[in-house]
Amino acid sequence: MSLLALQLFRRWETLLVVLLIAFIVLGSTLSPFFLSGSNFSDLTGNLMEKAIMALPLALIIIAGEIDLSIESVLGLSSALLGFTYALGWPLWLDIPLVLVVGAMGGLLNGLLVTRAGLPSLVVTLGTLALYRGLASVVLGPRSVGGWPEWFTNFGFGDVPGTLIPWPLVVFAVLAFAFLFVLHRTWIGRQIYAIGKNKEAARYSGIDVAKVKTYLFILSGVLAALAGVILTARFSSARADNGQGFVLDVVTSVLLGGVNIFGGEGTIVGVVLAIFVIGVLRNGLTLADVSPDTQSVAVGALLILSVAGPTLVRRITAARPRRQLTSPVSNS
């Protein structure tokens, strides 16, 4: 009984649930409006682009790499969508096109990391600037509006008769897919193996470069999708859409318990962390704290999220380590 409680406490996810509840309680004391249904709709709607990008980033970090370029892929996607739409091309053509461009952005990241052997931190920092620059080249400083109603409704409307925003539906479907792939399939197993011991994975016949490249492509596609959703939600395509998102996305993934050095992390943790940060930002907004000032809290959470799991891991590691000193060879 108490052992179960101890094990529950040891799970990082449990701590996140506690944190989430604490922030919700805190938020409701800050503003009576906080617990209203429309605020829930607002809160989640604002969050979904970041949430969608956090899923592939979780896999990339578990595999031992990082992708910082996602917010610029989002911007490029938005700019390109606006540009092509302004040309009069139909959306059913524009949307697949920007997703393909997102995939190519991810592919370039992947190839530079796996073929050229460059560190992903540097590569994606470079493409963070590069893709954002491309977005400005494509669209310039203008913004494109005049979107069809079904499109903007997809961005900020709710599922009829509910308070569930459409982007949340997209995210929920994706989150379940990622949960399934990471925790149930051989692909997930290979991702963990790569993150825990890249050499052993390679010596076990896993095509490490291929797996990583696919993860970067996936990241590019979903960042582009986030760009489409953001454009719809704002009814406005702009080259600077999504600027600064990467801080929240990386923070959610790490706060979710994904080990920055790879090999560890769960989708449940990441999803919880996304909402922790969403609730935090929403509560602070209701308390009239400016988004820039909110970054103080998010930045602090980022550091906490790296320091915290290390501490928890030390607590959990205390048991297996004891096993180490008395290996099972007493026969």
Partner 1 sequence: MSETSPVLRLTGISKRFGAVQALTDVDVALFANEVHALVGENGAGKSTLVKILAGIHQPDAGRIQLSGEDLVLSGPAAARDLGIAVIHQHPNLFPDLTVAENVFVGRLPRNGVRGVDWGELNRTAQRLFENLGVKQSVSVPVRGLSVADQQLVEIAKSLSLDARVLVMDEPTASLSSHEVERLFTIIRQLRGRGVAILFVDHRMEEVFEIADRVSVLRDGRHVITAPINELNPAEAIRHMVGRRLETLFPKEQATIGEIALEVRGLTRRGVFSNASFQVRRGEILGLAGLVGAGRTEIARVLFGIDRADAGEVLVAGKHAEIKSPKDAMRLGIVYVPEDRHAQGLVLDFSIAANVSLPIVERLSRLLVVDRVQERQIATDYSKQLQVRSTGVEQVASGLSGGNQQKVVLAKWLATKPTVLLLDEPTQGVDIGAKAEVHRIISQLAGQGMAIVLISSELLEVLGMADRIVVLHEGRVAAEFARDDATQERVMAAATGHVEA
The length of the chain in residues reads: 331
Q: Which of 271, 277, 280 is nearest to 27 (CA)?
A: 280
Residue 4 found at the interface with partner 1 (CB under 8 A): no
d(CA 152, CA 146) in angstroms, rounded, equals 9
Residue 162 found at the interface with partner 1 (CB under 8 A): no
Residue 184 found at the interface with partner 1 (CB under 8 A): yes
d(CA 279, CA 289) in angstroms, rounded, equals 13
Select the residue interacting with partner 1 from 4, 116, 160, 199 (CB under 8 A). Answer: 199
Residue 190 found at the interface with partner 1 (CB under 8 A): yes
- 174 or 297: CB nearest partner 1: 174
d(CA 44, CA 157) in angstroms, rounded, equals 12
Residue 327 found at the interface with partner 1 (CB under 8 A): yes
Select the residue interacting with partner 1 from 87, 141, 307, 329 (CB under 8 A). Answer: 329
d(CA 224, CA 277) in angstroms, rounded, equals 22
Residue 185 found at the interface with partner 1 (CB under 8 A): yes
- 136 or 197: CB nearest partner 1: 197
Select the residue interacting with partner 1 from 193, 228, 271, 302 (CB under 8 A). Answer: 193
8 A C-beta contact, residue 100 and residue 108:
no
Measure CA 42 to chain center: 19
Q: How far is the CB of 190 from partner 1 (least distance, A)?
A: 7
d(CA 67, CA 105) in angstroms, rounded, equals 11
Q: How far is the CB of 182 from partner 1 (least distance, A)?
A: 11
Q: Which residues bind partner 1 (CB under 8 A)?
A: 181, 184-187, 189-190, 192-193, 196-197, 199-207, 263, 320, 323-325, 327-329, 331
